[in-house]
Amino acid sequence: MITKDNLKQVLENLGFKNKNENYVKTINNYTLLIDYKNQSINYPKEIKIHDKTTSNFSHPENFVVFECVHRLLEKGYKAEHLELEPKWNLGRDKKGGKADILVKDNENNPYLIIECKTTDSKNSEFIKEWNRMQEDGGQLFSYFQQEKGVKYLCLYTSDFSDKLEYKNYIIQAYDNEEYLKEKELQN
Q: For 111-159, how does the pLDDT look when each residue is reduced to its tens digit (9 = 90+)?
A: 999 999 999 777 799 999 999 999 988 888 888 888 888 999 999 999 9
> In angstroms, rounded to a whole number, what is the distance separating the alpha carbons of residues 146 and 90?
8
Domain span at residue 31?
Answer: 7-186
Helices (H) and strands (E) in the chain, counts: 5, 12
Decide if 1 is inside a domain: no
Mean pLDDT of the chain: 90
Decide: 9 and 3 in contact? Cβ < 8 Å: no
Question: What number of CA atoms fall less than 13 Å from residue 48's CA on the CB side?
Answer: 12
Number of domains forming the structure of the chain: 1
| Residues 32-78 pLDDT 10s | 999 999 999 999 999 999 988 899 999 999 999 999 999 999 999 99
